Amino acid sequence: MQVLVVEDEKRLAQALEQILTEKKYMVDLAYDGRDGFDMAVSGIYDVIILDVMLPAMNGLEVAQMLRKEKIATPILMLTAKDQVADKVAGLDAGADDYMTKPFSPDELFARVRALTRRQGEVVIEEMTFDGIKLNLSTCDLSCNDRSVHLNFKEFEIMKILMSNPQAVTTKDDLIVKVWGYDSNAVDNNVEVYISFLRKKLEFIKANVEIISLRKVGYRLEGKANA
């Protein structure tokens, strides 16, 4: 789960980052509305926590512009105490929920969880491609009666490749979606995980391989079609 926090009060932003990171969320921070919009429009986040009063562009404008760009990421708007007008305006602008400052970590988790659940209403348990199955709750990859467990990053990469089997996924795409927008991950990290995945595909005797397209990216292909 990747969360974007757009909040100009740095201490609050960092506190949010800390409590969300402890709960295993991946967190990116933006300190003004313009940066927040630029990051959010990538569409990689599962939830956006968005303050209303922000420099460069306020939270209402950010929410409105994101919805105009067809970015449907759930938005949790932060409002100062008693600014009822902000709450109404926030929901009108496209926010999904709001939370009044100050708030407790418990309230924050409850709201973030509710928003991610809402987004995941259609629960897909399993993805399949040419005889291989990826179980989305156990992170096990299997083919016939052979099965192997994927670690978090292998799982995330496999999920992206399987949801896009006909298309090429670029290394940059994988870095942003799996390591995060601000990460220092490089092409080499991706190659290492792709090689782990290839070994695991071999181990389960999958009839599927990850094809490298030099300087472009990766694609999943059935061996019969190769």
- Positions touching Ca ion (CB under 5 A) are 8, 51, 53
DSSP states of 133-157: EEETTT-EEEETTEEEE--HHHHHH
Strands 97-100 and 126-129: unpaired
Q: Using an 8 Å Cβ cutoff, are 133 and 143 in contact?
A: yes
Q: Between residues 100 and 116, which has the closer beta carbon with respect to Ca ion?
A: 100
AA letter at 170: T
Positions of E strands within 11-92 = 26-30, 47-51, 75-79
Q: Between residues 77 and 197, which has the closer beta carbon with respect to Ca ion?
A: 77
Q: What is the DSSP letter of 8?
A: S
Q: Between residues 51 and 154, which has the closer beta carbon with respect to Ca ion?
A: 51
Q: How far is the CB of 91 from Ca ion (least distance, A)?
A: 18
Q: Which residue is nearest to Ca ion (CB)?
A: 53
Q: Using an 8 Å Cβ cutoff, are 194 and 157 in contact?
A: yes
Q: How far is the CB of 7 from Ca ion (least distance, A)?
A: 6
- In the structure, how many helices (H) and strands (E) does the chain have? 8, 12
Q: How far is the CB of 109 from Ca ion (least distance, A)?
A: 21
Q: How far is the CB of 103 from Ca ion (least distance, A)?
A: 14
Q: Between residues 58 and 207, which has the closer beta carbon with respect to Ca ion?
A: 58
| Collapsed DSSP state (helix, strand, coil) of residue 93 | helix
User: How far apart are the C-alpha atoms of 112 and 216, rounded to whole Å?
Assistant: 35
Q: Between residues 54 and 143, which has the closer beta carbon with respect to Ca ion?
A: 54
Q: How far is the CB of 82 from Ca ion (least distance, A)?
A: 15
Q: How far is the CB of 177 from Ca ion (least distance, A)?
A: 28
Q: Between residues 30 and 134, which has the closer beta carbon with respect to Ca ion?
A: 30
Distance, CA of 130 to chain centre: 26
